[in-house]
């Protein structure tokens, strides 16, 4: 019953449905990239500098004759992979620390929050660049770097939720009926704090994709993985002669981030019914 309620609320938001459709399309594109575009996206497919709608390359080719469309399809894999795994890692760090801080309060809270602020005082992107530069660019290091710079907001959010839920009477009832702290955190509080965390995690996937693109643009991407950011970065010198090389990967980024934001918004409406109603 609760599931169907959730769907009804989600579907009511037209933008969210549109976002979900785009997102599914991108996932399908990523999953079947090798079927749609067999062969290595790094290989030369046609003559260099082919404009869009030419014979061998629907979206044109770059200065080394690589197919842009193929690059976008294979790049979708990298973007989604990095977006999802780095968000998962950020969730693991952020929610754990935030939950501990919020539940225990006092000195534990102080220590964890000062540690969190340490990360928040350093600009995200600069820290990510430094981390990737130190650990040589690869998919793993990029994912880790993005996770390390993006967990603090999640920790703050989880902490706030835990702080307020901890004083709720059902949590106190759990204490008086002798349940252990672990069980209270995992079974009583966490399920009730998930909605806002899920919402901000969905938006964080979008931020992670942007971060990865920016890193690749600066040449700090994984040299073995075709990614949207890399494509734009490589094409920037010839943007005036060959606009299609940077515009199509750019559009891919815009669409993905937009779709994720729309879905996040929809999740927010569906998971926080009070908010959704006030928007009428």
Partner 1 sequence: MTTPLLDVPLLDVRGLSIALPPGADRPLAVDNLTFTLNPNEILCVVGESGSGKSMTAHAMMGLLPAPHVRVAGGSLLFKGRDVLTMPETEQRSLRGGRIAMVFQEPMTALNPLMRVGRQIGESLREHTDLTAPARRARVVELLAQVGLPNPAELAEAYPFRLSGGQRQRVMIAMALACQPDILIADEPTTALDVTTQKQILDLIRSIQAERHMGMMFITHDFGVVAEIAHRVAVMRHGKLVEYGPASDVLNRPQHPYTRQLIASVPHYIEHRDDHAKAGAPLLVADKVRKVFNVGGGLFKKSKEVVAGDDLSLTIHPGETVGLVGESGSGKSTLGRSIVGLIKPDSGRILFEGTDLLSLDRKGFRPYRRAVQMVFQDPYASLNPRHRVGDIVAQGPVAFGEDRSKALARARDLLAMVGLDGSAADRFPHEFSGGQRQRIGIARALAMEPKLLVADEPVSALDVSVQGQVLELLDDIRRRLNLAMLFITHDLRVAAQVCDTIAVMRRGRIVEMGTAREVFTHPRDAYTRSLLDAIPGKSWHIPDDLQKVPAGAH
- The CB density around residue 25, as the number of other CB atoms within 10 Å, is 14
Q: Round to the nearest angstrom and report the end-to-end CA distance of the chain.
A: 23
Counting residues that bind partner 1 (by CB under 8 A) gives 18
Largest Cα–Cα distance in the chain?
Answer: 74
Q: Choose between 35 and 121: whose C-beta lies nearer to partner 1.
A: 121
Contact status: 199 vs partner 1 (CB under 8 A): no
In the window 170-189, what residues touch partner 1 (CB under 8 A)?
Answer: 170, 172-180, 183, 187-188
CB of 92 to partner 1, least distance (A): 21
Q: Where do the H-state alpha helices sit in 218-272?
A: 228-235, 244-271
Convert residues 151-170 into a mask of x (bound to partner 1 by CB under 8 A) and - (unbound).
-----------------xxx
Site for partner 1 contains 7 (CB under 8 A):
no
Question: How many alpha carbons lie under 13 Å from residue 245 in its C-beta half-sphere?
Answer: 22
Distance in angstroms (rounded) separating the CA atoms of residues 200 and 261: 10
Beta carbon of residue 277, minimum distance to partner 1 (angstroms, whole number)? 9
Q: How far is the CB of 163 from partner 1 (least distance, A)?
A: 15
Distance, CA of 116 to CA of 150 (rounded, Å) = 11
120 binds partner 1 (CB under 8 A): no
Q: Tell me which residues touch partner 1 (CB under 8 A).
A: 2, 168-170, 172-180, 183, 187-188, 191-192
């Amino acid at each position: 019953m609760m599931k169907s309620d959730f769907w009804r609320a989600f579907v009511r938001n037209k933008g969210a449905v549109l976002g979900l459709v785009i997102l599914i399309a991108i996932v399908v594109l990523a999953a079947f990239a090798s079927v749609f575009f067999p062969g290595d996206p790094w290989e030369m497919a046609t003559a260099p500098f082919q404009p869009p709608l030419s014979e061998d390359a629907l979206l044109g080719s770059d200065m080394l004759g690589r197919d842009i469309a193929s690059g976008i399809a294979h790049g979708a894999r990298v973007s989604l992979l990095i977006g999802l795994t780095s968000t998962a890692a950020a969730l693991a760090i952020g929610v754990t620390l935030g939950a501990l801080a919020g539940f225990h309060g006092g000195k534990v809270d102080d220590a964890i929050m000062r540690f969190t602020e340490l990360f928040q005082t350093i600009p995200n992107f600069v820290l990510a660049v430094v981390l990737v530069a130190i650990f040589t660019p690869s998919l793993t290091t990029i994912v880790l770097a993005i996770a390390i710079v993006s967990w603090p907001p999640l920790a703050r959010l989880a902490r706030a939720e835990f702080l307020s839920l901890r004083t709720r009477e059902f949590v106190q009832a759990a204490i008086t009926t002798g349940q252990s702290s672990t069980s209270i955190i995992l079974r009583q509080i966490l399920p009730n704090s998930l909605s806002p965390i899920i919402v901000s995690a969905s938006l964080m996937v979008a931020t992670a994709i942007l971060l990865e693109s920016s890193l690749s643009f600066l040449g700090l991407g994984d040299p073995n993985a075709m990614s949207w950011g890399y494509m734009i970065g490589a094409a920037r010198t010839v943007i005036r002669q060959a606009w299609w090389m940077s515009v199509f990967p750019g559009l891919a980024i815009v669409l993905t981030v937009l779709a994720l934001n729309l879905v996040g918004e929809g999740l927010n409406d569906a998971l926080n019914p009070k908010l959704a109603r006030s928007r009428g």
